Structure 1
Amino acid sequence: MSKLLLTLLLFTALAPALAVGDELRPVPGVIHLESRAGGSPLTVEEVADRARKAGMRVVVFNDKFTNRVEYGLPPLRNLLKKSEERGSISGYGVDLYLREINELSRQHPDMVILPGAEVGTFYYWAGSISAFVRDVLSREGLSRLLASGKGAEEKIGKFDYRQKQVDRGLKVVNFHKDMLVLGLDKADDYVNLPTVSNRKPLVLAWSGLLNLWPLPLLVFALIRLFPRRASPYPYALVTQPTAMPSVPERSQTGLRRARKSSLLLIVPSLLFLVNNFPFFQPKYDQYHGDQGSAPYQELIDYVNARGGLIFWSAPDISTGVFQAGPMLMETRPYSPELLNTRNYTGFAVFAEGMKSSGLPGGGWDKVLTEYVKGDRERPVWAIGELDYEDGDWIGETQTVFMLRALNRQDMLAALREGRIYAVTGSAKVPKPVLEKFQIWDAEKQHWAEMGETATVRGLTKIKIELVVPPGAEVRNLRLIREGQVVWNMEVTGSFTEIIELDYQREKGMTYYRLDLDSQLIANPVFCRFPTGRPAL
């Protein structure tokens, strides 16, 4: 009896500690850091050390997977080509890259450090072959396309790009239309990423055998080059057994001509065989114009099939059109891809996602509205993207994870399930902390977290706990439902309140997301209405 009593007392004493461990707590992190593998002057150790000093506890590296442009002349595009490459994971070595980051993670058990990649899955060339000869083979050539830090002086004027393409020469389009990939465990998962520069995926079809067309031509030429040496006059050996038959001059001339023509066939046959290898063509290449969303959906499906996570990077990109030596590099905003593609994990709302995509009624709200109406299989989440190479601004843009335990599994689960928010601002000024953003679930009798769905009966009860650093400016806190601002308040300090909204509808779903002055963006909490009245 005494042992049982002691056990109960110990359990009672430990219960508060266990409950604390079950509580979600905000853990700051940074996504899209670059290292020496991708051209940064810093090693992974140096980058992680800077992140730690900035207070980050989750670090995700996203060096460029490939960083190469290539142009080949038809019909021997794989032989008569010029390419230019800069720092990338594929050039550095996938195995080495993963090994360095995983070893770094083991050395820092109080942090979560993950490898990932920035993947430019597709680009294409616009222009003519004559432009290739003039531009690509020039002294500067392709090298300027990959040069870092293109300044404002190289940016083409607002209306210059409307000039005829022939006046502009050769142009590479959508080279910086990127996605962020993480959560892949195997080196082969990276090696086989479907990208134009990686020449994957290959189309394994019977039509690929047509690329073997030089082979019969080569065999025919070899047969003509080495004919069987039969006697032209076999009957002479019968009448005069000791006679040496001679080949007429005309036959010798024909043989020499056959050999010359065979050599003329052998050379191009071998060239085309080498050019066509491995005979099966990639599904997409850079020579057949814009392929729309298809190459990006291919990458999304590939990553999902291997259990990874994938985010659109900088959908509201402002790079525009740049003069890169004698050529143009063009990547225009691609926020429509948020609607055109499906089953990706999310997008970077900061720093290049709040010009249109993350605003009320923007692309993100349209995607979320499609989800609650049943027109989309899964929602998408907002993250903060740093795109850091060097400098003292490593904490400027953060993704804050709501975690119960600081480990890889819980961190990936938070990303996958939407238990995150993005925040941006000066790296030297403390940022507001969103402790709670929840909706009361009347069915389960608990508070639903970001990314979860609450069953709502009657009033919608929304709990917000926001910690704002002392001396902060007045900020506008607002709630957004299906693209509309339905509640807002100016806050000057910390804010804790349960907000009640009188909104119901016929059976269906809606969502609420939180926006603090367009500098802190919380992911949505969904509401399900089992019964109700029409929306007000």
Structure 2
Amino acid sequence: MSRMLRLQMSSCGFPLTFLLLFLTPLSSPAEKQWLHGAIRINSNISSGNRSMAQIADEATAAELDFIVFTDQLVARAEYGLWPLRHVVRYAREQPSIVTFGVERYLEQVRETAAQNPDLVIIAGADVAPIYTWSGMPFTENFTVHQWSEQMTVFGPDSAPFYSNLPALGNEAHGFFMPGTLLKLLPLLLLIPGISMYRRSYSSYADAQGNRIRIFDWPRMLAGIVMVAGGVLGTFELRPFTQSLGFDQYGNYGTKPYTQVIDYAHSNDALCFWSGPEQRMEQVKSGVHFLTVPQLDDIRFTFRHNGLAGIYPDNSTAYRPGQLWDYMLLEYVDGRRKVRPVAIGEVDYHGLWRVDGIQTIVHAEPNHDAVLQAIADGRSYAANITVLDRLRLTQFEVSDAAGTTAGLGETLTTGARTVAVRIAGTRSPDKMEFTAVFKLVVDGEAVASLRAPAEETFEIVHDVELTRDASMHYVRLYMGDPAVTFISNPVFIHRPTNADTP
């Protein structure tokens, strides 16, 4: 805070005003640093077996700088018999954010963050917007498809945001115009139905004074059917439940996932595809649960922030010319508007190390800065096997003029040839580890660069930009066939009229 002292003095008959300004030193803003974090953590609120407080303690002990809680938003499987699927139905539900309570969930995240001020804690959710059924109940082929095809959505600290995420089992309830009124129309059948029922019988007194009742059974049955149809039809239409535009019985393609992506995008949330190539098959209570890789769904959806590049399963999407490069080329060519970023997903449930797979971002140590760095791709991801042996400290591209750009940044240059610089540190007691960086330029592997067996190393390699385009990118990965390290790209903008060698 500044302090100001005003003194008035006179000299030679002229008043002089001196303004003395004393400034106490202001704290400078935090500088960017490499922050290690774990994304996609499940607590015991859903499918994990440890509390948020316990997980935060583990993360602190592992020297993590940030963690992202993404418990399952909803875990409910429901099957109904046609034509009254919402009336004659069977459902099974597991613990989730919805069963726990969205506001309670966010409050626990806030409390955990308050108790751990040196750890950036971010709220999120695992969202599986749709699953589909095939086969018939009580048969061997009765199957739930894509139960685990999920998206990791995180960032907002708002209960309405999570309450309105479009996913089966998370539909909003209330009075919606004109939908609610239209869905209440079957109740109009009660008017003729009750009238017909009341007119289906009559009575009179015979000569002896006995009351005789006469029933018109067809009319009575018609009245009962109309009343039952009106009531059951109204229940089936669920007038006070907002329709998502899809259900678990039809083929809706990528529509449910696009709705989640668009909703997240419009609310400034980050949205990543989880475990793109995971395959899950199990049987529960006689029902098969089957999830197969969803690479096509990722490829043909837009505006999401990217995908898990490293996660506890096999992956091919990171390989040169495969899915991730396909999306990156779309981005640099202007056919994809949101930058597709690769992150590491630990998929933590308490069964292994919370720091087993990390996303390392270059950012200031605060909530918003970490989120922005993830969105920009100022990050790399690696598993603990690599991180115990090697840490990246620099990955940048420069031209002959000395202009430089790092992870997630764009170098504008007229040069066709640029220099790639990789710098890092290695554990002195684990020099036997063979560290080979694969360099990918515009979707093609161009070099394998071995890190020297030195505690502090640097690699410089010249790259020629041969693709006929104004935008290019370079990225790194390590490990084949199982990826253990992956960097986001450095982008290069070379104006179309540039002809500098």
TM range (shorter): 0.7 to 0.9
Deviations 1:357-404 (A, max 9, x none): 11111100110011112221122111110111113422110011111x
Query: For residue 151 of structure 1, what is the aligned residue in structure 2?
Result: none
State the shift of 1:205 in Å: 9.0
* Matches of 2:374 and 2:133, distance apart in 1: 35
3-state SS of 1:38 partner: coil
1:109: which partner in 2? 117
How far the C-alpha of 1:323 sits from its partner, in A, is: 3.4
1:417 equivalent in alignment to 2:376: yes
Bigger shift: residues 107-116 or 446-455: 446-455
Structure 1 distance, partners of 2:345, 2:173, is: 28
Counterpart CA distance in 2 for 1:122 and 1:335 is 16
Q: 2:470 aligns with which of 494, 497, 508?
A: 508
Question: 2:356 aligns to what?
Answer: 396
Displacement, 1:415? 1.0
Alpha-carbon shift at residue 514 of structure 1 (Å): 1.3
5+ residue gaps, structure 1, are 1-6, 136-167, 233-243
Match of 1:42 among 50, 62, 66: 50
Shift in Å, 1:501: 2.2
Q: Is residue 129 of structure 2 the alignment partner of residue 172 of structure 1?
A: no
Distance of 1:73 and 1:489 partners within structure 2: 60
Pair 1:257–1:367, CA change in 2 (3 A):
closer
Which is further off, 258-267 or 430-439? 258-267
Aligned: 1:435 with 2:401: no
Q: Summarize the Cα distance change of 1:171–1:477 in structure 2 as closer, same or farther, 3 Å threshold.
A: same
1:26 and 1:110 map into 2 onto residues whose CA distance is 15
What amino acid is aligned across from residue 500 of structure 1 in structure 2? D
Q: Is 1:454 matched with 2:411?
A: yes
1:88-123 deviations in Å (ceiling 9; x for gaps): 000011000000101211222211001110011111
2:325 matches 1:365: yes
Q: Name stretches of at least 5 consecutive residues in structure 2 with no aligned partner.
A: 1-20
Equivalent runs, 1:456-535 vs 2, <5 Å: 456-458=413-415, 459-470=417-428, 471-472=430-431, 473-491=433-451, 492-493=453-454, 494-503=456-465, 508-517=470-479, 518-531=483-496
In structure 2, how many angstroms separate the alpha carbons of the residues matched to 1:109 and 1:180?
24
User: Alpha-carbon deviation of 1:505?
Assistant: 5.7
Look up the SS of the partner of 2:308 in the other structure: strand
Distance 1:192 1:364 in 2: 30
Preserved CA contact (<8 Å) 2:206 2:212: no
Q: Does 1:218 align with 2:190?
A: yes
Distance 1:503 1:230, change over 3 A: closer
Match of residue 10 from structure 2? none
C-alpha distance in 2 between matches for 1:30 and 1:231? 79
C-alpha displacement at 1:426, in angstroms?
3.8
The counterpart of 2:234, out of the listed 264, 273, 292, is: 273
Aligned partner of 2:405: which letter? A
Distance 2:313 2:487 in 1: 14
Alignment match of 1:186 (pick from 135, 138, 158): 158
Q: CA deviation at 1:457?
A: 2.6
Structure showing the higher strand proportion among its residues: 2
Amino acid at match of 1:297: T
Matched, 1:121 2:129: yes
**Residue matched to 1:91:** 99
Match of 2:64 in 1: 56
Q: How does 1:17-416 map to 2 (within 5 A)?
A: 21-22=30-31, 24-127=32-135, 131-132=136-137, 134-135=138-139, 168-199=140-171, 211-226=183-198, 252-254=213-215, 261-278=222-239, 281-288=243-250, 290-319=251-280, 321-351=281-311, 355-403=315-363, 405-416=364-375
The change in CA–CA distance for 1:256 and 1:285 in structure 2 (over 3 A counts) is: closer
Instruction: Give the whole-Å Cα distance in 1 for the aligned partners of 2:34 and 2:353.
Output: 21
Kept after mapping to 2: 8 A contact 1:348/1:382: yes
Q: Which residue of 2 aligns with 1:139?
A: none
SS at match of 1:221: helix
* 3-state SS, counterpart of residue 421 of structure 2: strand
Higher helix share: 1
Q: 3-state DSSP class of the match of 2:265?
A: helix
Report the CA distance shift for 1:505/1:104 in structure 2 as closer, same or farther (over 3 A): same
Per-residue deviation, 1:497:
3.4
When residues 254 and 413 of structure 1 are mapped into structure 2, their CA distance, relative to the original with a 3 A threshold, is same
Q: Structure 1 251/325 Cα, relative in aligned 2: closer, same or farther at 3 Å? A: closer
Could you tell me how far apart the structure 2 residues matched to 1:88 and 1:230 are?
57
| Deviation for aligned residue 1:274 | 2.0
Give the aligned residue type for 2:68.
Answer: V
> Secondary structure in 1 aligned to 2:299?
helix
Q: Give, in whole Å, the separation in 2 of the partners of 1:37 and 1:76.
A: 33
Which shifted more, 365-374 or 418-427? 418-427
**Maintained 8 Å contact 1:72/1:79:** yes
Separation (CA, whole Å) in 2 of partners of 1:53 and 1:263: 68
Q: CA deviation at 1:212?
A: 4.2
- Three-state SS of the structure 1 residue aligned to 2:371 is helix
- 1:521 and 1:222, CA in 2 relative to 1: closer, same or farther beyond 3 A? same
Report the Cα offset of residue 39 of structure 1.
3.1
CA deviation string 1:473-519 (max 9, x = no partner)? 11211210122112222223442134332335655111000113332
Paired positions, count: 473
- The residue that corresponds to 1:4 in the other structure is none
Aligned to 1:115, what secondary structure does the other structure show? strand
| Counterpart residue identity of residue 523, structure 1 | N
